[in-house]
Amino acid sequence: MERKKSADIFIDQVGDKGGWGYGMNSVESLSMGICTLTEINNTYKSFIPDNPFINITSGSLEYKLRSLIQNREQIMKSGNRGYKWVRKKHDISSVARKLYSYYRSIGLNP
């Protein structure tokens, strides 16, 4: 975690081979305000259109990294957006509210 915390840019995954596009590694980096790159497939992009990730592919990774390295302001802006997003979407209170809304939608009253 100490090593991750010192990063300016974090790359979660490249390739659509084992999940939706992000996991706990990304949640951790976003919560630290780190600009986070990952490959998010089209299904997930439509499910979470407001995500803060810089979407990459094996073909775009080098270009996007070079662009970011030359634009410190964009790195900071992306990290800040990610920090706010993870607080909104992954904070325990917001997760609990979302779960309870799902429960109510199926007739449960938690």
Residue 103: phi, psi to the nearest 5? -60, -45
Q: Helices 61-69 & 72-90, crossing angle to 10 degrees?
A: 110
Residue 13: phi, psi to the nearest 5? -150, 150
pLDDT averaged over the chain?
90
CA 68/CA 59 separation, integer angstroms: 16
Tell me the per-residue pLDDT of 57-105, one tens digit each, with 9 for 90 and over. 999 999 999 999 999 999 999 999 999 999 998 888 888 888 899 999 9
CA 61/CA 37 separation, integer angstroms: 9
Give the helix/strand (H/E) hosting 28: helix 24-31
